[in-house]
């Protein structure tokens, strides 16, 4: 009985279209309208400027800790922009740019960042899930949504986001496995931003790529330059088509970098060198798209200034709106809302007690 290879014999593609200097591969570059390009650029810039403002607000104690998106804007906008409105967005907790693309309002996010659940505003009928904080747990829900959509005979698809750290979770394995076994129309978008707080991706896996993990589940996987919005778009577009038409999931690894801290409570100088950060700053996803747009006369100093001014004004207005809402926010009794479909007798009793005085609840009285 000989010992024979059973396979698989695999390779994983790496896709790059727009390089660091803003040069695009003309053969791979899809057709975009001017509006599409500028909308993508504006969403990325808004996310960047929004985070810069949030950092100031956080440092001055106006809002709580949050997870900056800086550096990952292309990975998010490139992928999320391939969805239809009736498709599903299942995020982790750093998807600010993708959230903006899906219609999230900066003012709502600021109310949320200030610690109020009133900031979670999902428009009627919208298929946007809220932040999922426990790493990697949301991917299974994406798979289940995909199953139900297929069973309903709908052609909607599901896009779920997570990071390199999440690929170490058991739920990552279970989600890709379930999605494949049950032919779920799901696009798994891994933003490999190189760190899970302080732990580098080399400590998460010895796999050469994260994308190759797809092979084990019998699904397609591709690695893309995650700071290249066009590569992210093309890979996601292919994956969405595969999901919509073929009911098959895909794993996309966007190789990117978290330019800022994990959250505002984190000090990245403890675990990475400035030179490394500087190297990645040169690969900034927004700068390279700006060069591309300038080369095609879609952007110039005047246009950029007016876009920057408009974004700054929008963020000013958002904070003004948020501050007003925070001042007028309901008292602590709001914590009792939406626990169950109807409040239980005990919840009503506790809520009443809190109305009469704050600081915990007693069974006595």
Partner 1 sequence: MAELTMVEAINLALHQEMKQDDKVVVLGEDVGRDGGIFRVTKDLIEELGEDRVIDTPLAESGILGFSIGMALRGLKPVPEMQFSGFSYLGFHQIESHASRLRWRTRGHFNVPMVVRMPYGGGVRALEHHSESREVFYAHMPGLKLVVPSGPRNARSLLIAAIRDPDPVVFFEPKASYRAFREEVPDEEEVAEIGPAGILREGDGLTIVAWGAMTPVALAAAEQLAEDSGIEADVIDLTTLAPLDFGTIAQSVKRTGRCVVVHEAPLTYGPGGEIAARLQEEAFLSLKAPVARIAGPDVHMPYFAREKSYLPTADRIIEVSRAVLNY
Residue numbers annotated as active site: 258, 262, 271
Contact string 114-153 vs partner 1 (x = CB under 8 A): ---xx-xxx---x--xx-xxx--xxxxxxxxxxxxx-xx-
In terms of CB distance, is 73 or 87 closer to partner 1?
87
Beta-strand pair 220-225/199-200: unpaired
Single residue of 31, 338, 357, 360 touching partner 1 by CB under 8 A? 338
Please list every residue from 155 through 214 that binds partner 1, using CB under 8 A: 170-171, 174-175, 177-178, 181-182
The yes or no reply on residue 361 touching partner 1 (CB under 8 A) is no
Residue 40 Cα distances to 29, 47, 139, 259, angstroms: 15, 11, 25, 20
Q: Could you give the CA distance from residue 336 to residue 332 in angstroms, rounded to a whole number?
A: 8
Measured from the CB of residue 59, what is the shortest distance to partner 1 in angstroms? Answer: 27
The yes or no reply on residue 341 touching partner 1 (CB under 8 A) is yes
Measured from the CB of residue 151, what is the shortest distance to partner 1 in angstroms? Answer: 6
Instruction: Name 109's Cβ contacts closer than 8 Å, sequence gap at least 6.
Output: 50, 96, 99, 119
Q: In the 8-state DSSP scheme, what is residue 103?
A: T
In terms of CB distance, is 317 or 339 closer to partner 1?
339
Supply φ then ψ for residue 106, to 5 degrees. Answer: -55, -40
Buried b / exposed e over 280-290, threshold 16 CB at 10 Å, is beebbbbebbb
**What is the Cα gyration radius of the chain?**
22
Question: How many residues comprise the chain?
Answer: 365
The yes or no reply on residue 360 touching partner 1 (CB under 8 A) is no
The yes or no reply on residue 363 touching partner 1 (CB under 8 A) is yes
What's the distance, Cα to Cα, between the start and end of the chain in Å? 79
Measured from the CB of residue 333, what is the shortest distance to partner 1 in angstroms? Answer: 14
Beta bridge partners, 224, equal 15, 254
Measured from the CB of residue 192, what is the shortest distance to partner 1 in angstroms? Answer: 22
The yes or no reply on residue 86 touching partner 1 (CB under 8 A) is no
Where along the sequence are the contacts to partner 1 (CB under 8 A)? 88, 117-118, 120-122, 126, 129-130, 132-134, 137-149, 151-152, 170-171, 174-175, 177-178, 181-182, 337-341, 344-346, 363-364
């Amino acid at each position: 009985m000989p010992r024979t290879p059973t396979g698989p014999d695999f390779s994983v593609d790496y896709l790059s279209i727009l390089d660091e200097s803003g040069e695009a591969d003309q053969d791979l570059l899809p057709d975009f309208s001017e509006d599409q390009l500028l909308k993508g650029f504006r969403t990325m810039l808004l996310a960047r400027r929004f985070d810069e403002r949030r950092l100031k607000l956080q440092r001055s104690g106006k809002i709580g800790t949050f997870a900056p998106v800086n550096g990952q804007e292309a990975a998010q906008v490139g992928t999320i922009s391939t969805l239809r409105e009736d498709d599903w967005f299942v995020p982790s907790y750093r998807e600010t740019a993708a959230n903006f693309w899906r219609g999230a309002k900066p003012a709502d996010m600021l109310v949320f960042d200030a610690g109020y659940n009133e900031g979670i505003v999902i428009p009627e009928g919208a298929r946007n899930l809220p932040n999922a904080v426990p790493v990697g747990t949301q991917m299974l829900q994406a798979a289940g949504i995909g199953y139900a959509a297929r069973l309903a005979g709908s052609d909607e698809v599901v896009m779920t986001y997570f990071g390199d750290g999440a690929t170490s979770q058991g739920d990552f394995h279970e989600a890709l496995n379930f999605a494949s076994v049950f032919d779920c129309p799901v696009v798994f978008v891994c933003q490999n931003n190189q760190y899970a707080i302080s732990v580098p991706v080399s400590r998460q896996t010895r796999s050469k790529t994260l994308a190759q993990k797809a092979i084990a589940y019998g699904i397609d996987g591709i690695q893309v330059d995650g700071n290249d919005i066009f590569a992210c778009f093309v890979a996601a577009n292919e994956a969405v088509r595969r999901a919509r038409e073929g009911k098959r999931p895909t794993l996309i690894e966007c190789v990117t970098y978290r330019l800022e801290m994990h959250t505002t409570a984190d000090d990245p100088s403890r675990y990475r060198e400035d030179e490394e950060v500087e190297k990645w700053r040169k690969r900034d996803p927004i700068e390279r798209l700006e060069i591309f747009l300038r080369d095609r006369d879609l952007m110039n100093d005047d246009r950029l200034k007016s876009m920057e001014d408009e974004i700054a004004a929008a963020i000013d207005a958002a904070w003004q709106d948020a501050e007003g809402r925070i001042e007028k926010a309901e008292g602590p009794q709001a914590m009792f809302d939406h626990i169950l479909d109807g409040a239980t007798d005990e919840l009503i009793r506790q809520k009443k007690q809190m109305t009469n005085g704050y600081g915990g609840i007693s069974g006595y009285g």
